Amino acid sequence: MKITLPTSPIANHLENPRWPVLIAGPCSAESEEQLLDTARQLKASQRISYFRAGVWKPRTRPGSFEGMGEVALRWLQTVKAETGLPTAVEVATAEHAELALKHGVDVLWVGARSSANPFSVQEIADSLRGTDVVVLVKNPVNPDLQLWVGALERIHRAGITKLAAIHRGFSAYEQSVYRNEPVWNMAIELKTICPTLPIICDPSHISGRRSLVPLVAQKALDLNMDGLMIEVHCDPSVAKSDAEQQLLPADYAQLIFALQLREVTSSKPELRNELDSYRQQIDLLDDTIFETLSKRMAMSQKIGQYKKDNNLMVLQLNRWEDILEQRSRLAAAMGLSSEFAKRLLVLVHEESINLQTEIMNS
Ligand code: PEP
Ligand code: MN
């Protein structure tokens, strides 16, 4: 299904038009000093299109820091006046949107919790009618492409054409290396059904921890995403929200300078090298294999702990013979050679036994 969301491009304000749009700034606005300090350093990096800060924070549990509210919009005005950086904030209600516009905010984004709720999105959309503001719509917390598209359509029907989507990952029941599991295929599918819509990746909320942010950012660019939103704080150790995932401005600058910009062979996506597209798919599948292996090993460790607690043997021969026999038959039914499946299972089993032995000896 193709949908038509004619969108005008979002200015990247960078000296090289080929660079992705770069949105950076703290998770939350905490004080005027914190905003100015962070913004000045980001400005000096010359790699920032928009300065972001959360003013109203949607928190999972009550009692956490819920944002400074309207006063922070005045701090953002000061940041803009001093650094010249256009600003971006999250809005969750019509009142937020009206206040943000009144204070000269340039970009509004709809957060993941709001975009999952059509009532909230409609309320925001209605409040934006007649304005020319840039609006970014984060994916809903649950992996539902139609819900994401629906939120974009509601904003678009209110007359907003400077529109982009943000892939910030999806919450999952199972534990994973990510805070919010990326579903790259869904972002690619969104691009396919709506080729004019820019898609920005938020590696900070996908990763949940600093060390993973550069890898996710590079991956987003390799998959031809149009921009990045990255959380940066002048002192993440004292951040009032998302302290684990915010980068120091110097680390942000280093990350951006190290990014590899993929050569675009053609401006028309349909003419892009076919081999390239197959390789991208292979890379995605390989990532899935490793993500699954990582979950598999975490489960082995859990079982190892159980065996230790209950004084059971690590190697359970019958169980292993069953696995080998059943899984290699399943693999053969899936078109894989059973020889290859057995070799792979032996490797996985060896690693599993090693991990469990370590637990026994710990
Ligand atoms: C944020 O950007 O700080 C935020 C709350 O994001 P999300 O809506 O993706 O959780
Ligand atoms: Mn955050």
Segment 314-323, tens digit of pLDDT:
887 888 888 8
Closest Cα partner for 283 from 221, 327, 239? 221
pLDDT of residue 297: 94
102 Cβ neighbours under 8 A, 6+ residues apart: 73
pLDDT tens across 248-301, in order? 999 999 999 999 987 756 566 666 667 777 888 888 899 999 999 999 999 999
pLDDT of residue 59: 85
Rg (CA), the chain: 23
How many Cα atoms occupy the beta-carbon half-sphere of 108 within 13 Å? 31
How many A from CA of 103 to the centre of ligand 1? 21
Q: Where in the chain is the domain with CATH 3.20.20.70?
A: 21-258
To the nearest whole number, what is the mean pLDDT of the chain? 93
Q: Which residue puts its alpha carbon closest to atom 4 of ligand 1?
A: 111
Q: What are phi and psi of 253, to 5 degrees?
A: -60, -40
Q: Which residue puts its alpha carbon closest to atom 9 of ligand 1?
A: 112
Q: Does 3.20.20.70 match the CATH number of domain 21-258?
A: yes
**Are the CB atoms for 110 and 139 separated by under 8 Å?**
no
Q: Where in the chain is the domain with CATH 1.20.59.10?
A: 269-360
At 22, list the tokens: 């770069």
> Domain 269-360 falls in which CATH fold?
Chorismate Mutase Domain, subunit A (1.20.59)
pLDDT of residue 266: 59
Tell me which of 30-39, 145-154, 339-348 is least confident: 339-348
pLDDT of residue 264: 58
9-13, 122-126, 188-192, 306-310, range with greatest mean pLDDT: 122-126
Ligand 1 atom closest to 166 (CA): 9
pTM: 0.79
Kindly state the percentage of the chain with pLDDT values over 70.
96
* SS3 category, 181: strand
Closest Cα partner for 181 from 112, 116, 88? 112
Pocket of ligand 1, beta carbon within 6 A: 27, 54, 58, 90, 111-112, 138, 168, 205
How far apart, in Å, do the first and last CA atoms of the chain sit? 55
Per-residue confidence band for 111, with pLDDT thresholds at 50, 70 and 90 = very high
